[in-house]
Structure 1
């Protein structure tokens, strides 16, 4: 039996709903996926083997993944690649090329991923996999950096990306996408369950999981960058601090810098999705330009109910 026929058999047995990012989403282990990412997830569970010094960026989709991919790459590779180098890899390749999504790799590619010319430097992967579905080896080895975002901005980014990327057979209306999102059938959703899973992991295993938010990084980039470096076991030296290295990394990875790079303005990511669609806005509170007051209130209400008693607050 071929890989594709096995997936088709699985899909036929799973709960199915209309998708925001695909014609249909399928529920697997409590979360919703399109066929491509579901196949990638299953491949990971069956074949991926984490290394002790691997770093995994896990995100709730459309939460600033591209931005933190760039930051992680620049931070981890800062000794080999100065952020001021005019030939820095982030000026030559997209963050998605340098930090690939696990679910979009073939199993034969896993062991050949290198985010650096220095083999002693950590491999960096990204994924949208919920805690309940993580491959066992990732739970046991490496470090996980988790990023989330205000739910309202997450939804708006989700909606725009779906239509602009033409990943559905036909565009989806804001109202239809909103209803599906609230039901939890967004990519790797329900988003609230995805976030809570990693929030709890970060409390139980703070040495394994670092929980970050888009808004915190935006508000206090230096503080959060130091926190990230410390978590990864690569704290900034006093010399690096004095040289302005943090400012250099922040500038290199900023929305303004990344969005104007030719490599991010042209070409495609994984098929027909244009690279420039990953640099739409980057503004905290952009939801105000898209959602009605009733929509915003409903998302806030669901978020408050879902996170009640967890100690987690997202604004």
Structure 2
């Protein structure tokens, strides 16, 4: 299966208010089935705010579990079919729920951008392992901005200045960044099967983070195997890899910006003006004053 056919899409979707957050219909059209989704105890949910390292961690997990047992998957199946996007309802393609239900693999690796309060209940009831990846707000905003510019199924981002204001106001698809990262951080305090990772730590030392991930998953992956995975999931390798770089999706215009753009920490400095940065810091302090969650904006 090639993937969705987006040729019918002629206009970008409008933002809607849905279940208390900003959304677009592509992620709410199958809501009833999504909420009724039956997780299995060995499912692994990869949860992130958009553009925080989702594909990176999905690929690492895919290699950890199936790199040796099903190597042919690596060259024949795009990552979005190996790790279905649970809430997605895209044209001419099975829904995320259908794709997940038809996954032949054990464990099933499943991706979501839903904030913690909207994740289907069965994941918590089945005590599934959840891997959450968080990225500092400034780099996340920049990455999301470029993603919206090149992706026809996202709303029109406008210019950088108005985009940043909307990001601060929480008016982005999947809601406010602040609530998203804090929501999973709070959940982690009461739900022991949640592993909270930072994009910055992964960039700094991928091997160490893969090792921590293995230990959370209870995998005894040999060192040489882990090193191979670290190499294969290096940003530049993934950017070149047609099965992980999303270049097979017509809806994304790579002439505007590639799906995998830079994968760096601190690129926000090339986008924020001094005034924007001061305003953002002020607002950030207010938004994050009640959490113990701390981010690095450079490494």
Does the pair score TM above 0.5?
A: yes
TM-score, normalising length from structure 2? 0.84
Q: Spell out, residue by residue over 1:98-153, the C-alpha distance to the aligned partner (whole angstroms, 9 max, x if none).
A: 11100122544432023x4xxxx300000111111111101222111001101001
Q: Spell out, residue by residue over 1:69-101, the C-alpha distance to the aligned partner (whole angstroms, 9 max, x if none).
A: 1111111224415xxxxx553343332221110
**Corresponding residue for residue 251 of structure 2:** 272
**Corresponding residue for residue 268 of structure 2:** 287
Separation (CA, whole Å) in 2 of partners of 1:285 and 1:102: 30
Separation (CA, whole Å) in 1 of partners of 2:78 and 2:228: 18
Separation (CA, whole Å) in 1 of partners of 2:96 and 2:114: 16
TM-score, normalising length from structure 1? 0.80
Map of 1:235-250 to 2, 5 A cutoff?
Answer: 235-236=220-221, 240-241=222-223, 244-250=224-230
Runs of 4+ in 1 over 6 A off after TM superposition: none
CA change 1:135–1:283 in 2 (3 A) is same
8 Å CA contact retained: 2:139, 2:266: yes
8 Å CA contact retained: 2:132, 2:194: yes
State the shift of 1:262 in Å: 3.8
Map of 1:119-268 to 2, 5 A cutoff?
Answer: 121-141=106-126, 142-167=128-153, 172-206=158-192, 208-236=193-221, 240-241=222-223, 244-264=224-244, 267-268=247-248
Separation (CA, whole Å) in 1 of partners of 2:102 and 2:117: 26
CA change 1:80–1:152 in 2 (3 A) is same
Separation (CA, whole Å) in 1 of partners of 2:282 and 2:77: 40
CA change 1:204–1:181 in 2 (3 A) is same
**Corresponding residue for residue 100 of structure 2:** 110
8 Å CA contact retained: 2:37, 2:120: yes
1:72 aligns with 2:61: yes
Separation (CA, whole Å) in 1 of partners of 2:288 and 2:20: 18
CA change 1:161–1:229 in 2 (3 A) is same
CA change 1:94–1:175 in 2 (3 A) is same
8 Å CA contact retained: 1:22, 1:167: yes
CA change 1:257–1:88 in 2 (3 A) is farther
State the shift of 1:267 in Å: 4.5
**Corresponding residue for residue 12 of structure 1:** none
State the shift of 1:168 in Å: 5.4
**Corresponding residue for residue 38 of structure 2:** 49
8 Å CA contact retained: 1:144, 1:210: yes
Separation (CA, whole Å) in 1 of partners of 2:79 and 2:96: 19
8 Å CA contact retained: 1:40, 1:102: no
8 Å CA contact retained: 2:87, 2:97: no
